[in-house]
Structure 1
Amino acid sequence: MAAETEIRTFLCRSDNIGVLIRDTATGACAAIDVPEAEPLLRLLDETGWTLSDILVTHRHGDHVEGIPAVKRATGARVTAPAKAGDAVPEVDATVVEGDTVRVGSLSAQVWETPGHCADHVTYWFEAAGLVCAGDVLFTLGCGRVMESPPETLWRSLERFLPLPDATQVFSGHDYVLSNARFALAADPDNETLRRRAAEAERAAAEGRFLIPSTLGAERATNPFLRSGEPALARAVGLPSGSDPAAVFTALRAWKNRF
């Protein structure tokens, strides 16, 4: 993690992950989504941080319902996907593919990453070495496909693959244990995955969660990002060398039934 950046992750609701990103050079601080107001405001009080921005990944209620209360308490500027329309409350600015957002001296590229829903965006803080993936990419998993064919979500996931191994991935939910069980069913001979699943079990027993992950860990263990690997094609009954989008589609359908 870049020295000028401080991060806090915390549970909201039942399994949402709240994220605060602070630029130590300026004191500017952004929340990635606001699933619930109280935990976020409590953490701001504990840290003494001043919230300047709320960056919204998508319009779903479990990511935006805390915005009005937090904005009243902090005056934070709300940035949301333009394609969300009026579904996100209290919006001050909208973003589309290729835009840049700034949090103090930190900057993030905006990627449109549909598949989970049509308006979903991802924030890629390149200099800070982190990406806020919302409900597109999870630790050992991916989001449920909604409002599009499965191939759309696969194309969004492909955008993460070239990022550096050390890139930290902040996702919107803690589904790690259920994702690990499915990953082991789909990729049972993956020794790295077995170690990662054991780590997830230990973390849960200790009251921790494996968020953030890293791109290196996800490329090695996340079955959905591994849709181009022969082992995953065989797992869904397709020949080696099959189109990764077809493998992903079959994997996602299997996960829906799992």
Structure 2
Amino acid sequence: MLSLVTLPCLSDNYAYLLHDNETGSTAVVDVPEAAPILSELATRGWQLTEIWLTHHHYDHVDGVADLVAATGAIVRGAVADAHRLPPLTDALAPGESFSFATHDVHVLDAPGHTVGHIAFHVPAARAAFTGDSLMVMGCGRLFEGTPDQMWSSLTTLAKLPDDTNICSGHEYTASNAAFAVTIEPDNVALAARRQDIEEARAQGLPTVPAPLSLERETNPFLRAHLPSVKSGLGMEDATDTEVFAEIRRRKDTF
């Protein structure tokens, strides 16, 4: 059995602890800073064995050196970004899989936010660790990649099982939901979800992770292919990628 813990870091980042209760193995996905992770490990009596990195940005890797020094954990990340990630024990290529305890972990290509971005899908945990590619109610800015790359990444992630929990890297959900309403003002599921998000945040509760099934119903960046979305934007004859790019452009200036 696997246990998943969402850990707030910095001002609005998340790291994730994944713990195998039978073997005692523990992984952390992304390391914005070491202190909250070490504190949580100590509280739970867990020993960190692995670090998984989705991409090279400082707010996802800055605590790696301190965490390795404290725990001796191995570090896994994208081979394409090995030159700008902390030193890797295991350099991974998209399409590969590795074992965590007795569980398969699939490495998915997820460029767009950065060109070397990857995601980790753990079917046994019903979780996908998507960093800043697919984000709850949104997607990452295109700092390095193209709309084609990000749309391809999102469509790949959208094909995961309905009950997959999207474990993304930031608490941006409230602002993402406010933007989503400008794209689909008549989406009933979106209106209900926005209210749930606002209530959760008012209580200081995280809105991440979230089920992929709900993302498909409410996340505008996963819905650029829908005729109703295209019509609402006046882009009935546009390609899916063109519609996605327009939604991303609007979000950048929202």
* 2:144 corresponds to 1:147: yes
Aligned residue among 220, 239, 245 for 1:249: 245
Aligned residue among 37, 41, 49 for 2:38: 41
Shift of 1:165: 1.3
Aligned residue among 50, 55, 74 for 1:53: 50
TM-score computed with the length of structure 1 as normaliser = 0.96
Per the alignment, residue 177 of structure 1 pairs with: 174
Aligned residue among 194, 202, 208 for 2:199: 202
Q: Report the AA paired with residue 70 of structure 1.
A: L
- How many equivalent residue pairs? 254
* 2:37 corresponds to 1:7: no
- What residue ranges of structure 1 are gaps of 5+ in the alignment? none
Per the alignment, residue 228 of structure 2 pairs with: 231
The alignment-based identity, stated in percent, is 37
Per the alignment, residue 94 of structure 2 pairs with: 97
Shift of 1:128: 2.4
Question: Within 1, Cα distance between the matches of 2:26 and 2:103?
Answer: 10
Shift of 1:234: 2.5
Q: Report the AA paired with residue 71 of structure 1.
A: V
Q: Report the AA paired with residue 42 of structure 2.
A: D
Deviation >4 Å, runs of 4+: none
* 2:140 corresponds to 1:127: no
Asked whether the equivalents of residues 200 and 207 of structure 2 are also in contact (C-alpha less than 8 Å), the reply is yes
Instruction: Report Cα offsets for 1:98-140 as digits up to 9, x if no partner.
Output: 1112221122110111111011001011232111101001111
Question: Within 2, Cα distance between the matches of 1:110 and 1:150?
Answer: 21
Question: Within 1, Cα distance between the matches of 2:218 and 2:182?
Answer: 12
Shift of 1:210: 1.2
Aligned residue among 139, 155, 159 for 1:158: 155
Asked whether the equivalents of residues 183 and 232 of structure 2 are also in contact (C-alpha less than 8 Å), the reply is yes
* 2:28 corresponds to 1:28: no
TM-score computed with the length of structure 2 as normaliser = 0.97
Asked whether the equivalents of residues 2 and 124 of structure 2 are also in contact (C-alpha less than 8 Å), the reply is no
3-state SS, counterpart of residue 114 of structure 2: coil
Q: Report the AA paired with residue 90 of structure 1.
A: P
Cα RMSD of the aligned pairs, angstroms, is 1.1
